[in-house]
Amino acid sequence: MKVNKYLLVFLGLFLFLGTLVSTVVYKFFPLLVHHTVYFCQKITHALSLQLPGNLRMFFIIIIFVVLLFTAVKFFATLLRIYRFRSHLLKNTSRHTPFAPLLKNLGLIDKVVTIQSEKPFAFCFGIRSPKIYVSSALISLFTKDEFETILRHEKQHLESNDTLTLFVAHIVESLFPFFPILSDLIIAYRTEREMLADKAAIQGGANINLISVFNKLLRYKPNYNHTMTPAIADPHTLEIRIRSLMHGSLYRPIISWKNALLSLFFLGVMFFFIIVPIEATELHVDGHDVMVFCAQSHYFQTLPTYSSLR
């Protein structure tokens, strides 16, 4: 099995961002579950703002909205995957054309036919990924063109692109406030599709792949699933055609807006991690009453207290 370096990149980003968010939540969670919360003077000085005394409800609402938005996006991603998988299983055909060709390419039991009037071919699956081709695509292309398509999709299978895209989109859904992930996913998809194109024409002329592209553009394939690598990916097709026809090099494009928003998110996370916070929890008759800054003048008059941090 090939090790996909991009899979390691997305897993690394997941661990990095997850560690940042978990550290901030762990640090500030005790200050969000008491009756009254006063942030330390050190924090207000660092923010250069005059913050109101009782911020408990304000911060709880913000955290609730952020967590709710993240949860909705995460479960929406899982729901799309589930519905897409159910649709594939419902329309699967037992007919397997070009059996000798599949044997020559080492794709026995790796290709599934889907009954559809739209031409498409893509890879899908995590534990046991397969190539899914529509009945319309099989009837539209010649045997040589179909072989070119299979070689393209075989490259995705061998490179574990289905697993990598799945992980990438899960990470993107968990950290919606780090939008540069979207640009990284687009760059990854484009690069892998171009690599699969090279595998499709390896050892032969590119005339078959050009013919495949022309037919796909003419018939507008039904492809709108961004989590599956596919030869008809509309987000990468134009760039790949230019590369094939003119030898153009692909240069990833990073949005300035996404880059700045992502840097702002990191800055906020690091700020809350490094800013000092000291608080004292007040107990009266064995009950939590409020949390004060250790430097607060109220601290001098407390009859009973215990250290929170």
Residue by residue, DSSP assigns 68-80 as HHHHHHHHHHHHH
Whether 206 is covered by a domain: the verdict is yes
Domain ranges, residue 40: 5-270
Whether 70 is covered by a domain: the verdict is yes
pLDDT in tens, 75-102: 888 888 888 888 888 878 766 677 888 8
Please choose, from the candidates 153, 128, 130, the residue with its C-alpha nearest in 3D space to the C-alpha of residue 141: 153
More confident residue, 248 or 32: 248
Mean pLDDT of the residues in the chain? 78
Count CB neighbours of 135 within 10 A. Answer: 18
Q: How far apart are CA 21 and CA 270, in angstroms?
A: 10
Whether 183 is covered by a domain: the verdict is yes
Whether 300 is covered by a domain: the verdict is no
pLDDT of 210 over the 50 cut: yes
Whether 153 is covered by a domain: the verdict is yes
Count CB neighbours of 17 within 10 A. Answer: 20
Whether 292 is covered by a domain: the verdict is no
Q: What is the mean pLDDT of residues 44-67?
A: 59
Whether 105 is covered by a domain: the verdict is yes
Q: Are the CB atoms for 155 and 196 separated by under 8 Å?
A: yes
> Which uninterrupted H or E stretch holds 176?
none
Whether 112 is covered by a domain: the verdict is yes
pLDDT in tens, 224-277: 566 677 777 777 878 888 887 777 778 888 899 999 999 999 998 898 888 766
The model's confidence at residue 2, banded by pLDDT at 50, 70 and 90, is low
3-state secondary structure of 120: coil
Chain centre to alpha carbon of residue 163: 11
In the numeric block, the tokens 């961004």 are attached to: 226
- pLDDT of 36 reads 39
Please give the angle made by the CA atoms of 75, 71 and 160, to the nearest 5 degrees: 50
Instruction: Provide the number of structural domains found in the chain.
Output: 1
More confident residue, 276 or 283: 276
3-state SS of the chain: helix, strand, coil percent to 5?
A: 60, 10, 30
More confident residue, 230 or 55: 230
* 186 conformational bin, left if phi > 0, alpha if psi -120 to 50, beta if neither: alpha
- pLDDT of 278 reads 59
Strand partners, 122: 132, 230
Length of the chain: 309
Please give the angle made by the CA atoms of 15, 182 and 221, to the nearest 5 degrees: 130
- pLDDT of 42 reads 47
Q: What is the pTM of this model?
A: 0.77
The model's confidence at residue 115, banded by pLDDT at 50, 70 and 90, is confident
More confident residue, 243 or 297: 243
Tokens of 149: 């398509």
Tokens of 123: 């890879």
The model's confidence at residue 281, banded by pLDDT at 50, 70 and 90, is low
